[in-house]
Each structure stands twice: as C-alpha cells, then as structure tokens.
C-alpha cells in the first residue's frame, strides 16, 4: 500500500472534525448542567450583591462620627437598632447613632460604614445578647469600610457568562445567585458503541477455547461516559455484514449522533465493517500513519458519522483518545478539544518507525521539572500498559528516535481541559 493512501494524524483529525457538527441546544435545570457548554450568553437580571450589606458582625455607623477614635479615646454612639440578616430596618442613622448589624444584613439609611464587633466595647458573638443602649467604638473607619456594595460582583444587565462557557460548580452557584433556574446548553451526544468479532463473548460468560471477553465495548463505553456523553451499547456483532447491519440498526432506532465500533477495519478476510460502510454509507478514510492504530475507518452509516476503531484494546483506546474524543467534545459544544500537553524530559531512548507515535508513559514531577518514563511493553494488546500510564508521549511524524535526556511532548490523560 503506497504511503499516499495513508493520512497523517493531523489530516485524519481534520477530516473527523469536519465530519461532525455541534449539536442543538436544550433547556435544562442548572443542577443537571454541570460540565455542559452554554449555548447562549447569560445576562444578569439582578445585581450581586443586590443591596448594600455588612461584611462583618458589628455596628453600622457614620464614618465621620468616628474621626480620631482610638482604644484610649473611644467615641460613644447611641444604639438605635438591631439589624439581622434578612430583616431590613427602616431606621435612618443621624449623627451620633449606630445600629448593631450582622454579616449580610442590609445597611440602614444614613450609615456608610461598619465597625467590626472586635473594635467595640461589646464584643459579643451571639444575637441573643441584649442590645446595649450605648456602644464605645475604639477605631475610626473610612466610608465604605466593611460594606459590600450593590453590583460589586455583578451589575444588572451585564453578560456574566458567554456562550461556549463550560459550567463548573462555581458557574452553577453564580446562576443560582442570579435567580436563573434553567439554562440553555448543548445537548449531550448519544454514542452508539459496537464491538465486532467472532471471538468475542460477553463479560458474564465463562471463557471457551479461542474466545476472549469483549473488553473494548466496556472501555469505549467508559471513555464516552468520562466525556459526559451518553453511551448506547449495541453489543457484539459477529464478523458478518448482516450482523453488523442489524446491530447498527438498533443505534439508528435509538437516534445516535455518532457510531463507534472496534475491530473489523484492517485487511483480514473477515474485516466486514469497512464493507458495510462502503455499501450503506461512505468511507472517508481508513488508514492513518499512527502508532498504535494504523487502521481507522471514518465515514458515515445512513448519514450518521462513524468511527471504526482498530480491534486491539490499546489501539482502540488510543485512537478513541486521539480522534473520537475530539469529535464528541466538538459535538457537545467544546472548543478545547485536546488534552493538556506539557514538555517532559525523557528518561530513556524511544525508537519509532516514523509514524506519529503515542507511547504509553508515566510523567512525574521531580525537582521542579517533569520527567517521562515508558510503561514497559508497548504491545497493542498489553492493556496493563495503559493502566500504568498517565500520559501518552508523542513522537512526531518522521522522527525515528528520541534519545534519553531530550524533551518530549506528553499528552496528559488525567488532566482536565481547564489545565493549559
Ligand atoms: P481485528 O481488528 O478484528 O483484526 O482485531 C485485532 C485484535 O483485537 C484481535 O486480537 C482481536 O481479538 C482483538 N479484539 C477485537 N475486538 C475486541 C474487543 N471488543 N475486546 C477485546 N479485544 C478485541
Ligand atoms: Mg477481527
């Protein structure tokens, strides 16, 4: 097979991303929106804080009354009100007056600052304590001291979150503070997951000669779940076009947005996935200059995008990681589609065959730099090499050796996109 028939990883990724679209939006309760991508900007209807309130337990005062106040020369004020959080007072402070006030309680009219309770002659902490008729203040304050101003955090009318923003717990809290109970987010992609191969048996069944358990179906389902997408398991298809079609029909009936299958895409006599795509869809490409994972089918089945991963468990997971992950994130409205990448110092020499290689590695932080070692055997059937790995070390296209001590790009498997 001539080299021209193979795509580079970049070319393949570009084709995959062109072949999938951002899904439509849906409106859902904010608590269901964790990890989702906003489809519309959020405009504040209220200011936050909504009213001037005290940042401390203490006394609301007029700052000008306290000029020159110290512990030795305190200023005595008349206490005219007791203001708890949630209970606005209609009192207006005149010169010489103070109001006892709790954290979060609205400032009374006429006051412009708060003195913390520790700087007064009544350092109580309990609201049950009787209100003193007078209070000695041991310090002066500036207007605005210990006051939380309306709109200090968010002004009414302001765009608080832009479309495309990923909702984390702090965004959910902001939405709640603004009285927004529902948001418009991009729909979660539904991913049909099919394993193919006559040798596969379900996980629950005992092993019989020549058979292996369908681990890919589980690994890809978990990969889909980890992205916040909805897996639709389509089971195991035998190595016949008929059975592959039948299982894919279940996915069409369930309205999947993307098919992901494993195996059946190389040149073996029973590699039927490609044949099925050729007759009832189309094959955009099926070979990538990548290691592990040379055979990779991308196309459509009945107009639904289709990614056919290689069968070997490590190849399937790494190809998912490189291509399917980016496709699913794009469909879900994300714009950062790649894992965080860092530079680490390679501790042992790596050889490659010139294909872009994704070597299972362990990145550690040591003495202020990142170091990278290999997880041992790189066979594409050695699943425990991925269990030990926390990174994929990338050997670029055309490079056949990276020697110990050289920098290498590490694709961090467990770091979230927000690390960059
Ligand atoms: P194939 O792409 O069909 O040539 O398969 C390549 C290798 O992956 C073979 O050793 C298969 O037995 C193995 N394999 C295929 N599908 C699965 C699966 N679902 N779970 C575990 N191993 C698989
Ligand atoms: Mg096979």
Q: In this structure, what CATH number is given to the domain that contains residue 166?
A: 3.90.105.10
What is the Cα 334 distance to its own chain's centre?
9
Q: What is the Cβ-side half-sphere exposure of residue 102, based on CA atoms within 13 angstroms?
A: 15
Phi and psi torsions of 212, nearest 5°: -135, 160
Does residue 93 sit in the same domain as residue 44?
A: no
Report if residue 336 sits inside a domain.
no
Which ligand lies nearest to the CA atom of residue 235 in the structure?
1
Report if residue 374 sits inside a domain.
yes
Task: Report whether residue 299 contacts ligand 1, using a CB cutoff of 6 Å.
Answer: no
Does residue 253 sit in the same domain as residue 281?
A: yes
What parts of the chain have a pLDDT lower than 50? Answer: 1-2
Task: Report whether residue 264 contacts ligand 1, using a CB cutoff of 6 Å.
Answer: yes
Task: Report whether residue 311 contacts ligand 1, using a CB cutoff of 6 Å.
Answer: yes
Does residue 315 sit in the same domain as residue 246?
A: yes
Does residue 383 sit in the same domain as residue 345?
A: yes
Task: Report whether residue 260 contacts ligand 1, using a CB cutoff of 6 Å.
Answer: no
Q: Which of 194, 222, 260, 262 to mutate to test the pocket of ligand 1 (most atoms within 8 A of CB)?
A: 262
Its sign, for the CA torsion 17, 21, 22, 27, is negative
Structure-block tokens of residue 304: 């639904």
Alpha carbon of 296 to ligand 2 centroid (Å): 13
Alpha carbon of 287 to ligand 2 centroid (Å): 16
Does residue 216 sit in the same domain as residue 91?
A: no
Does residue 106 sit in the same domain as residue 195?
A: no
Who contacts 208 (Cβ-Cβ below 8 Å, separation ≥6)? 201
Report if residue 419 sits inside a domain.
no
Does residue 296 sit in the same domain as residue 238?
A: yes
Does residue 234 sit in the same domain as residue 359?
A: no
Report if residue 313 sits inside a domain.
yes
Cα distances from 306 to residues 80, 191, 298, 413, in angstroms, run 73, 10, 6, 24
Structure-block tokens of residue 87: 């209970």
Which ligand lies nearest to the CA atom of residue 266 in the structure?
1
* Count, residues in the chain: 420
Using the 3D structure, point to which of 168, 186, 204 is the last residue of a domain: 186
Structure-block tokens of residue 374: 């290999």
pLDDT of residue 420: 59
Residue written as token pair 């059946």: 264
Does residue 321 sit in the same domain as residue 285?
A: yes
Does residue 264 sit in the same domain as residue 372?
A: no
pTM for the whole structure: 0.93
Report if residue 3 sits inside a domain.
no
- What is the extent of the structural domain holding 318? 9-23+189-331
What is the Cα 245 distance to its own chain's centre?
34
CATH number of the CATH domain containing 75:
2.170.190.11
Of all helices (H) and strands (E), which one includes residue 242? helix 241-253
User: ∠ CA(337), CA(35), CA(326), 5° rounding?
Assistant: 20
Tally of domains in the chain: 4
Pairing of strands 281-287, 290-291: unpaired
Task: Report whether residue 292 contacts ligand 1, using a CB cutoff of 6 Å.
Answer: no
Structure-block tokens of residue 276: 């099925």
d(CA 361, CA 149): 51
Cα distances from 205 to residues 202, 212, 297, in angstroms, run 6, 10, 30
Report if residue 78 sits inside a domain.
yes
Q: Whose CA is nearest to atom 17 of ligand 1?
A: 311
Phi and psi torsions of 224, nearest 5°: -65, -45
CB 247 within 8 A of CB 291: no
Using the 3D structure, point to which of 273, 304, 331 is the last residue of a domain: 331
């Amino acid at each position: 097979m001539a080299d021209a028939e193979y795509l580079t990883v970049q070319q393949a990724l570009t084709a995959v991303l062109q072949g999938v679209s951002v899904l439509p939006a849906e409106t859902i309760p904010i608590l269901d929106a964790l990890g989702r991508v906003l489809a519309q900007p959020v405009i504040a209807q209220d200011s936050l804080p909504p009213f001037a309130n005290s940042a401390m337990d203490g006394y609301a005062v007029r700052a000008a009354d306290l000029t020159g106040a110290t512990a030795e020369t305190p200023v005595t004020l008349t206490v005219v009100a007791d203001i708890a959080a949630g209970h606005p007072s209609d009192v207006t402070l005149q010169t010489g007056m103070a109001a006892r006030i709790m954290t979060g309680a609205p400032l009374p009219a006429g006051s412009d600052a708060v003195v913390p309770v520790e700087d007064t002659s009544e350092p109580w902490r309990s609201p049950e304590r009787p209100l003193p008729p007078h209070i000695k203040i041991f310090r002066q304050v500036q207007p605005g001291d210990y006051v939380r101003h309306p709109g200090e955090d968010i002004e009414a009318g302001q765009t608080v979150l832009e479309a495309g923003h990923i909702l984390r717990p702090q965004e959910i809290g902001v939405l709640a503070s603004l009285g927004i109970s529902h948001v418009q987010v991009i729909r979660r992609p539904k991913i049909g997951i099919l394993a193919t191969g006559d040798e596969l048996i379900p996980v629950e069944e005992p092993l019989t000669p020549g058979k292996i358990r369908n681990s890919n179906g589980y690994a890809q389902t978990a990969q889909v779940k980890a992205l916040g997408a909805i897996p639709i398991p389509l089971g195991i298809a035998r190595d016949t076009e008929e059975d592959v079609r039948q299982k894919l029909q279940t996915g069409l009936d369930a309205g999947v947005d993307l098919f992901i299958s494993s195996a059946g895409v190389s040149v073996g006599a029973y590699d039927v996935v490609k044949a099925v795509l050729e007759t009832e869809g189309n094959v955009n490409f099926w070979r990538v200059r990548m290691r592990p994972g040379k055979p990779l089918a991308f196309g459509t089945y009945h107009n639904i995008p289709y990614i056919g991963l290689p069968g070997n468990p490590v190849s399937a997971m790494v190809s998912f990681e490189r291509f399917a992950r980016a496709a699913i994130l794009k469909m879900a409205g994300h714009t950062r589609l790649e894992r965080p990448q860092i530079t680490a110092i390679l501790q042992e020499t790596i050889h490659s065959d010139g294909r872009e290689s994704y070597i299972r590695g362990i990145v550690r932080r040591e003495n202020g730099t990142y170091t990278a070692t290999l997880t041992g055997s790189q066979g594409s059937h050695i699943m425990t090499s991925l269990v030990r790995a926390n990174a994929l070390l990338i050997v670029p296209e055309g490079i056949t050796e990276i020697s110990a001590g050289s920098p290498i790009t590490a694709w961090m498997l467990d770091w979230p996109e927000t690390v960059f």
